[in-house]
Amino acid sequence: MKKEANVILAKCAKDQLYGIRIEKRDHDWVRTWAFKLQEEMAEKEGFDKVQLTGSFYTDEEYPGCPYCGTKKCFVCGSCGKVSCYDGSDRVVCNWCGAGGKASRDDGALDVTGGGF
């Protein structure tokens, strides 16, 4: 079976971009790897254009954010981009600065819903 994989762009603290490699398993996306990325590189590769639907899970081998090490991230309800999530009750988007209340961490993210 052919593996379907992609890279989504995420941001840690200010200007710290990284790519998350995701792999399709059944109907869900599983995060398998993360690596540091320069903005120009991301644009060149088109990582900033990747739009995906479905749930996101984390593989046991997923190393976490290359900057802060968190394995959790969230999708901003305002801009739809991915930021690191430190596990606190409130989240702040590292892209647009929008804040929100974090949903309970059930290990899955809905990238189409936009809710926290």
Binding site for Zn ion (CB under 5 A): 12, 65, 67-68, 76, 78-79, 84, 93, 95-96, 98
Amino acid making up residue 38: Q
Judged by beta carbon, residue 20 or residue 65, the one nearer Zn ion is: 65
82: buried, middle or exposed (CB in 10 Å: 19+, 13-18, 0-12)? buried
Q: In the complex, what is the shortest distance from the CB of residue 92 to Zn ion, in angstroms, rounded to a whole number?
A: 9
What does the longest C-alpha to C-alpha distance in the chain come to? Answer: 41
Give me the least distance between CB of 3 and Zn ion, in Å please. 26
At its nearest, how many Å lie between Zn ion and the CB of residue 23? 20
